[in-house]
Amino acid sequence: MASVSIYLNFMGNAEEAFNHYKKIFGSEFSSPLMRMGDIPPRDGAPPMPEADKNKVMHVALPILGGTQLMATDMLESMGHKLVEGNNVTISLNPDSKGEADRLYGGLSEGGTDSVAPHDEFWGYWGTCKDRFGIRWMFNVMNQPQ
């Protein structure tokens, strides 16, 4: 069955972020968290620095409606550079205003650029940038009359 996943890059705090998200969404990782140290050594490649071995290679967490949120830590030792921006927004469409408020409350805690969920002409809407630099949007669409 086809599905959609959202993949996020972090600069060393993917595990912290995903433990936070796990608490908010009340779900568990869909497979064991994989660490950079689990990568088999490659012929001719320099050894991985000890500090990088505990970083997250891959993590996946089911959130709403069958969507998987996935992530990895980027490694400066491999030339990776994370640039936070506004190019990723995760749009959540919960079933109720109460659920939108609960999700917003958890995700906006310690964050910035927040607009609390409120009634708009199309439905109940809000947005925030969480404390990890990830943008979230909340939509509860008006039901047809």
pLDDT band for position 41 (cuts 50, 70, 90): confident
In the chain, % of residues over pLDDT 70 = 95
Average pLDDT, the chain: 90
Which domains are assigned to the chain?
1-76 (3.10.180.10), 87-145 (3.30.720.110)
The predicted pLDDT at position 86 comes to: 60
Tokens of 142: 């008006």
| pLDDT per residue as tens digits for the range 63-108 | 998 899 999 898 888 888 877 766 678 989 899 999 999 999 999 9
Is residue 1's pLDDT more than 60?
A: no
- Rounded Cα distance, 66 and 21, in Å: 15
Q: What are phi and psi of 51, to 5 degrees?
A: -60, -25
- Rounded Cα distance, 117 and 46, in Å: 49
The predicted pLDDT at position 121 comes to: 81
| pLDDT, average across residues 44-48 | 85
| pLDDT per residue as tens digits for the range 126-141 | 999 999 989 899 999 8
The predicted pLDDT at position 87 comes to: 62
How do 56-62 and 34-35 pair as beta strands?
antiparallel
Is residue 44's pLDDT more than 60?
A: yes
The predicted pLDDT at position 43 comes to: 87
How many C-beta atoms lie closer than 10 Å to residue 47's C-beta? Answer: 7
How many C-beta atoms lie closer than 10 Å to residue 62's C-beta? Answer: 16
